[in-house]
Structure 1
Amino acid sequence: MVVPQGSLGSWEVRSIVGNMFPLLIVLCVIVLWAGITLEEAEEMLEQYGILAIMVPTMVDMGGNLGAILSSRLSTRLHLGTTEFDPRDRELWANVGAVLALAATIFTALAFGAYLLGGLIGSTLPLSTLLLISLVSGMSVAVIAVLFSFATTYASYRLGVDPDDTTIPIVTNVVDVFGMVIFIGVSALVLGF
């Protein structure tokens, strides 16, 4: 399915605010879940301070990966070059690039946390940090890919400009899942 140019959404302030305001209210409530999860993990994060240092990067990078893919998909929709077809090699190349970027970023996060942990005296073995970072990070990257495709496609089908909806939805939802997954994987690996 090739999308004709100019068929998505409206540039009117009323239309954008009308679409986004209710969505942002729902997203605010969803993001509260991440805060509650973080509060529940306070004991583990106090014992392993290096994990607390990893949290912002883990959460931020997951949302950024989703934003990258969502932006690319939205641009292709506006250009009329996207087909949501599993045989579309360019779509798979974008997915592969996001996953490769995730593997690189989350490996670097583990190494950076290990080095920083040595400086501040909050160490965990590098293998443990790699396991936590890569399992959490790659899980979040897969969720980012799924939500990017689902949100872009749903926005298109509903006649809403994906530029207005995809990045707020994907970044917020992936941030929440990033927090929950990171805390869950950390607790599982460390036996909490």
Structure 2
Amino acid sequence: MVVPAGGSLGTWEWKRIVTNMFPLLIVLSIIVLWAGITLENAEEMIEEISILAVMVPTMVDMGGNLGAILSSRLSSRFHLGTTELDPRDRVLWANVAAILALAVTIFTALAIGAAALDAVLYGGAVGFGQLLFISLVSGMSVAVIAIVFSFAATYGSYRLGIDPDDTTIPIVTNVVDVFGMVIFIGVSAAVLDIPL
């Protein structure tokens, strides 16, 4: 295992954590504004197809949660000295497969729940097939982005000598929130043929 440039990752120093995190949180706050702007630009579409408003929080939260799960697992493996992000590492691929399987399950359940609510509240304004397509395409795209950013943030933090526990989850959840919102709005507009 390669020793990071900054020495041990196992020490807890609040000044180091604040020094590492403050600039990162400023940048991430600016990035997250993009998600808010995207949502505001899609306000008409969401008002027209109200069931989309129900799906947005789950879509965004679950994408970030998937990334946080993988980031935590990768960080733990780095701390334990059991990984070097070798592409031949079967445990890494098992983690990726588990995240993808969890994503399929979660986003299928989201589509089923949304279709049921749509039928009860709005008389089935959007068909189950369309909701399933929107949920799975958006959700699986977000899951892949979460996986990529989990690996990049964990490995990048480690190589820079920064404890991945301090950086990975804020990076991954914020980036996935933004991409999740943009992808969900884009896929929904394309599937439902609604101009943004």
TM-score, with structure 2 as normaliser: 0.94
- 1:129-154 alpha-carbon deviations (Å, 9 max, x no partner): 00000000000000000000000000
Please name the residue that 2:178 is paired with: 176
> What is the CA-CA distance between 1:7 and the residue it aligns to?
2.5
CA distance in 1, matches of 2:18, 2:3: 24
CA contact (8 A) 1:132 1:186 kept: yes
Matched residue type, 2:93: W
CA contact (8 A) 1:110 1:129 kept: yes
CA distance in 2, matches of 1:180, 1:47: 18
Please name the residue that 2:128 is paired with: 126
Q: Which runs of 5+ in 1 are unaligned?
A: none
Please name the residue that 1:62 is paired with: 63
- 1:43-78 alpha-carbon deviations (Å, 9 max, x no partner): 110110000110000000000000000000000000
The number of residue pairs the alignment matches comes to 191
CA distance in 2, matches of 1:127, 1:3: 50
CA contact (8 A) 1:34 1:179 kept: yes
For 1:5-84, what aligned pairs fall within 5 Å after superposition? 7-8=8-9, 10-84=11-85
> What is the CA-CA distance between 1:120 and the residue it aligns to?
1.1
- 1:114-171 alpha-carbon deviations (Å, 9 max, x no partner): 0011121163100000000000000000000000000000000100000000000000
Residue range with higher mean Cα deviation, 122-131 or 22-31: 122-131
Residue range with higher mean Cα deviation, 41-50 or 119-128: 119-128
CA distance in 2, matches of 1:80, 1:3: 10
CA contact (8 A) 1:9 1:160 kept: no
Please name the residue that 2:146 is paired with: 144
Q: Which runs of 5+ in 2 are unaligned?
A: none
Matched residue type, 1:14: K
CA distance in 2, matches of 1:104, 1:82: 28
Matched residue type, 1:125: G
Please name the residue that 2:95 is paired with: 94
Alignment RMSD? 1.4
TM-score, with structure 1 as normaliser: 0.96
CA distance in 2, matches of 1:190, 1:62: 22
- 1:2-35 alpha-carbon deviations (Å, 9 max, x no partner): 669x822641110000000110011000000000
Identity of aligned residues (%): 77
